[in-house]
Structure 1
C-alpha cells in the first residue's frame, strides 16, 4: 500500500503543479474535473505498477512461509539474491535443528546409562545383605557413575558458555610438560583399563591459563583413549601440545565435528562408533586454543601404497609416529 502511495504521489504532484500553473486560463469546473481525472489515473498507475513491481516479493513471501523456495526466471537480480539468501538460511536452520535433535537423543542416552547403573547399584546396596568388601565395591562403582554424570554436565555447561561468549583466560608462564604429566596421571586408570600404552614426550614453557588449557588437553586425551588401538602419546612441541593415537581417526572434517551439537553416531574405518560427547570435547578444545591465540589442528597421513617397496634399515628402526594427531597450537612456546 505504501509503495502504491509513493508511485501515486510521484505521478500526481507534477501534474497538480502543472494544473495550478494553468489555472488562470481554465474555468474552475474544468480545473476541478481535470484534477480529479489526473488523481484517478495516477491512482490506477500506482496500483498497477506496485503490483507488478512487488509481485516477485509477494511470491517470495509465500514461498518462505511454505518453506519451499523455487526460482523464477522473471525475477529481478535483487530478488534472486534475496531468495538465495533465504534458501541458505533455511538450509542452515534445518541442519542446526537436525544436529540439535541428534545431540539431545545422544545426551539422553548418555545420561540414562549412568543413572540406570546407579539405580541398580543403589537397589543392591539397600536391599541385599552384602558383606563389607562388596558394599565398598558397590560404593566405588556408584562414585564412578556419579563422576561420569558430573563430567557430562560440566562439558554441557562449558559448551554452552563457549558457544555464546568468548573464553576468558588469565595467562601466566606455565611448564607445559608438568601440565601434560598431570593430565597423564589423571587418565592413567582409563589407559590401564583398556590396556593402552600412555606416554609423554617433549618439554616447553608458554604463557597460558593452565587450568583452562588442561581442560582442553584432557578432552583430547580422553577422546584418544576412547578410540586408540594400542597407544596414546602426548607431546610438547614448539607448536604447542600434541595428542596422538593409533586409532582410526575422524570420520569427517574437524570443522564439521568440532561443533557443540555434533554427537550422532559415525562410521570410522568401517566401524560404527557412538560419538557421545566427543563433539563437545573437540569444540571446547578448539575454543580454548583460539582463546590463547592459536587453534586446533588435525592430521592423519594417508596409508602407505602397498605397491611401493618398504624402507630398508641398516639399524633398528625408530618408533613410527602415531598417525592420528591433534595439535593445540599455542604461540610463544619456548624450550
Structure 2
C-alpha cells in the first residue's frame, strides 16, 4: 500500500510540475530574448544620438565603447558608404534601414538591431548592434537546469510526505491484522491499541470489543461444562454404588464394567468440550509425562509390572495444555493396564523430533492389537471402546501432530504420538 501511494503521489506531482514548469521554462526563454534585444537596442540608440553631433573620430570611439560596455558589437553605416566601429558587412537589412526605418533582422549567427538616423550629414545613417545566438540564450540553460532540479526535489518531497502519511495508515492496519491473527490462534488476551486515522481507531475498538465478547462467551461455556460435569458424575457415582451392592458377583462385575465404560465415555465427552472451550496453551511434556508415570507406577508395582521411563532432557514444550496431555498419557497407560495381563512390562519414551516436535511412545509386552486395524472409537475389541486411542489421536492432531500404532520391540502394542512444538515462554 505504501508503494502504491508513493507511486500515485509521484505521478500526480509530476503531472502538476510538468504543467507548471514547462510554461515557466518557455517564459524564461522569452524574457531572456527580450532582455537581450533591449540591451542591444539601448547600445545602438546610445550611438545613434551621437551621429551628426560629433566628428567621425569621436563617433567611432563612441561606437567602440558602446559595443564594449554592452557586449554587442556596434557598427555605424554612414550615408556616403563609410563604416565606423566594429567591422560588419552591409546587408540588405541595412539598405532597408537606410530608407529611414528601424528594424530587427535575423542573420546567420544571430540578429541585427538596426536604428535609422535621419538628418545625418549626407543622408540617413544606420547604427547596427549585433546580437549573437549565445547572447539570446544567455542564462536560459542554467535556469532550466535549476527548474529541473527543483521539480525533482519537489517530487522527492511529495513521495517522502506520502510515505509518511502511508505509514501512519499502514502501521495501525498491520497491527490490527496481527491482533486478529493472535486471536485466531487462540490468544484471547490480544488487544489492539487504537491509533491512526479515525476509521482505523474505530476498527480497533470494534476488534477489542469482539475479543472481549469471545472471552465472555468462553467463560460462560467453561462454567456450563463444569456444571454438566457435576450433574453427570453424580448419578454415575450412585449407579456404581448400586452395582457394587448387587449380591450376584457375576452380575455385579458386568454392571461395574458397563458403568466403567459409561464413565469413560462421559469423561471423554467432558474433556472434549473442555478442550474446545479452553484457550490454546502449551506445557512441558517432560514434566507432565514424568508426573503421570509416577502416578501409574504405584499400580504397576501392585501388579508386578516392570516398566522403563526414557525421558529426553527437558524442557520439551508442546502445543498441548497440560491437562490434555495428562489425559492422553492416562488413557494410553490405562489401556496397557486394562488389556494386558498382570506382570506385563511396558515402556514410556519421550524424545525430541524434527522441527521441535516431540515424540511420545508407549510400548508393552502384551498380546498387541491382534489382526486387523486397532480399535476405533465406539467399536469394541477385546473389551475396548477405543476411546483411549481416540483421545490420544485428537490431542496429537490438535497440536499439529499425528498418531501411529504398531508392534513394539517388546512384542506387544506400540502407540506413537507426534506432538507439535509449543512456545518456549509461557509454558503452563
Bucket of the pairwise TM-score, normalised by the shorter protein: 0.3 to 0.5
Which structure exhibits the higher relative contact order, with contacts defined as CA atoms closer than 8 Å and separated by 6 or more residues?
1
